[in-house]
Structure 1
Amino acid sequence: MTEILVLYYSQGGAVRDMAQSIARGIEGVDGAKARIRTVPKVSANFEATEPDVPTSGAPYVELQDLEDCKGLALGSPTRFGNMAAPMKYFLDSTTSLWLKGALIGKPAAVFTSSGSMHGGNETTLITMMLPLMHHGMMLLGLPYSEPSLGNTTSGGTPYGASHVGGAMDDQPLSDDEKKLCLALGKRLAETALKLSA
């Protein structure tokens, strides 16, 4: 099986829901399997503040998960047009993988959720792309051949899947947002399979 890492940080649950939809898209492709992981919250001093093992949900990511995967879907909520600090904190710890070139040539995709329609979704997706480019990963977006990209009245961009959750992040994923998450997962899995063949 070709394993794709779905790595996310979620505070209100929307990014977690997106991760699960992306994982379903991955696992809809024969020969592909999703490995879902998350990162712990960090304090204002940028230190991990949660126990070593989460009390519920996905396990915390380890560097070995990145090294072992054949592709990566990376997700974070939007924080002033940027990824959330816990995800940045984790990515800052991946220098040893960069030194080894462990991620070079692997496909990657990004996804996010914000509180408002113009809440920085696209810039957040781009900020998540930058460290992946430094790692030598190949970035995938969503082509306009996806009907939901043209139909959506909420989230969805050519840079990756996105969601507009409302001020309290309590709006569920729209049908178009779910379809785009599934499509992104499928595209990532198909690309990873082709590259690893």
Structure 2
Amino acid sequence: MTRVLVLYYSSYGHVRALAQAEAEGAQSVPGTHVDLRRVPETVPEEIQRKAGFAADDTPVAVPADLETYDAIIFGTPTLFGMMAGQMKSFLDQAGGLWARNALVGKVAAVFTSTGSQHGGHEATLLSTQIPLQHFGMLIAGMPYTFAGQTTAEGIVGGAPYGAGTIAGADGSRHPTETDLAGARFQGAHVARIAARLAGTTWQEEAA
């Protein structure tokens, strides 16, 4: 079976909702096994309580887990136009995988949640892809075959670079059905690509 990991960080539940939709989409592809995991929280519990962080009982991943999957879909909120520090810290701990080329040829994708339409939505999707390319992963976006991203009827998250949602400045806005449909689409898209690549042997090419 093709193994897909949906790995995310979420403070208030928006990215978690998208992550669940990504997992549903990937699971809809026959022959796919999907795991849903989150990266460890780094914010002290007292600050979490004061800030109203949402409780999350999703199992926590460790960097060594990444090697066992054919595809990994990364979800992170936008913080100051970039991925959350929790996700960056997790990736920074995967240097051993990078040194062994352990992630070369695996499929990767990114999704995000942003407070506003112009608060770094696309910047986060694109910049999060950078370290994944350093790992040698193959980036899958959210192509325009998902027509929902082109609608002008209301606020829509996501872009050709990945699925997404707009949470609002106070976080009160929840993912719309279009946003969730985009996440399901991307999850299935990644699973299909991973299935096609499964069994391919990647060899290092020396120049």
Residues 1:105 and 2:116 are matched in the alignment: no
Q: 1:177 aligns with which of 152, 176, 179?
A: 179
In the alignment, which residue of structure 2 is the partner of 1:194? 196
Report the 3-state secondary structure (helix = DSSP H, G, I; strand = E; otherwise coil) of the residue aligned with 1:30. coil
Report the 3-state secondary structure (helix = DSSP H, G, I; strand = E; otherwise coil) of the residue aligned with 2:77. strand
Structure 1: 5+ residue stretches without partners:
45-54
Residues 1:156 and 2:158 are matched in the alignment: yes
Report the 3-state secondary structure (helix = DSSP H, G, I; strand = E; otherwise coil) of the residue aligned with 1:169. coil
Amino acid at match of 1:70: D
- Pairwise CA distance, 1:43: 4.5
* Partners of 1:184 and 1:110 in 2: CA distance: 9
Report Cα offsets for 1:66-118 as digits up to 9, x if no partner: 00011010010000110011100110000000011110001110000011111
Contact 2:97 2:103 in 1 (8 A): yes
* Partners of 1:170 and 1:27 in 2: CA distance: 29
- Pairwise CA distance, 1:150: 1.1
Aligned residues: 187
In the alignment, which residue of structure 2 is the partner of 1:57? 57
Contact 1:151 1:176 in 2 (8 A): no
Amino acid at match of 1:18: L
Amino acid at match of 2:86: P
Equivalent residues in 2 for 1:38-77 (5 A)?
A: 38-43=38-43, 56-77=56-77
* Partners of 2:35 and 2:172 in 1: CA distance: 26
In the alignment, which residue of structure 1 is the partner of 2:168? 166
Contact 2:149 2:156 in 1 (8 A): no
* Partners of 1:43 and 1:24 in 2: CA distance: 29
Structure 2: 5+ residue stretches without partners:
45-54, 200-207
Once superposed, which parts of structure 1, at least 4 consecutive aligned residues long, lie more than 3 Å away?
Answer: none
Report Cα offsets for 1:100-154 as digits up to 9, x if no partner: 1110001110000011111101111112101100000000111112111211632
* Partners of 2:132 and 2:162 in 1: CA distance: 14
* Partners of 2:31 and 2:9 in 1: CA distance: 26
Report Cα offsets for 1:23-67 as digits up to 9, x if no partner: 0000000011211111122259xxxxxxxxxx8421111223200
Amino acid at match of 1:170: S
Contact 2:21 2:180 in 1 (8 A): yes
* Partners of 2:78 and 2:4 in 1: CA distance: 23
Normalising by the residue count of structure 1, what TM-score does the alignment of the two structures yield? 0.91
Contact 1:5 1:65 in 2 (8 A): no
In the alignment, which residue of structure 1 is the partner of 2:130? 130
Report the 3-state secondary structure (helix = DSSP H, G, I; strand = E; otherwise coil) of the residue aligned with 1:131. helix
Normalising by the residue count of structure 2, what TM-score does the alignment of the two structures yield? 0.87
- Pairwise CA distance, 1:172: 1.6
Report the 3-state secondary structure (helix = DSSP H, G, I; strand = E; otherwise coil) of the residue aligned with 1:29. coil
Identity level (%): 41
